[in-house]
Structure 1
């Protein structure tokens, strides 16, 4: 049985040097718990088979959808259902906690310089 330890989010976020590059901090069933820093705008993408949960730990961001935009502030979260095209955007920057299936690639069906296929554990 694995050892149970607490996770300090401030410590984990302090280890992030790049934006849009998620890192794994835990696993829950077939879900990965990840931290990521947002700055600027991400790529429009969708995930055919995976829902995603974005929780703002610090800052705020806008989840752009094709038909509307949702402002997500510190202490709030948004769940994006599978197959929904979306794009997170922030001008001020944000620290985000993600819950997503272990099969999720951050850019979904899009492959570019922001794609992280195998996120590092920190």
Structure 2
């Protein structure tokens, strides 16, 4: 058991919208990602997603509303809810807590889909 330096881990991330693993807890992963601009509409049929905003403001579009999540805030996206994360052009650093089996873009497969998660 050793502390994890979150700043160092974020500094090692060079690409946007690519989640990296930093910890495993029970049947969940703690992931880090840098995000910028717009991601894709998607949903996770069987898994909830917990977004923790480490730096910046994440905008989460839902089909019926839009929510802003700021530094130090969290947002739970329930399973089955279609959503699209995005930013207003700024670099946003996010932490995600998700079940291990959660697929990056749900059942959608596209150019931005990450199928192999790497450890930092």
Contact kept in structure 2, 1:33 and 1:98, CA below 8 Å:
yes
Structure 2 equivalent of residue 114 of structure 1:
112
Structure 1 residue 93: Cα displacement: 2.0
TM-score normalized by structure 2?
0.97
Q: Which residue of 1 aligns with 2:80?
A: 83
The count of aligned residue pairs is: 119
Instruction: Compute the displacement of 1:31 (Å).
Output: 0.3
Q: Secondary structure at the match of 2:87?
A: strand
TM, length-normalised to structure 1: 0.95
Unaligned runs of 5+ in 1: none
The whole-number CA distance in structure 1 between the counterparts of 2:115 and 2:12 is 19
Q: Which has the higher strand share?
A: 1
| Alpha-carbon distance in 2 for matches of 1:25, 1:32 | 8
Shift of 1:113: 1.1
Deviation track 1:24-81 (CA, whole Å, cap 9, x = no partner) reads 0000000000000110100000001100000100011111000000100000010000
Q: What's the Cα RMSD here? A: 0.6
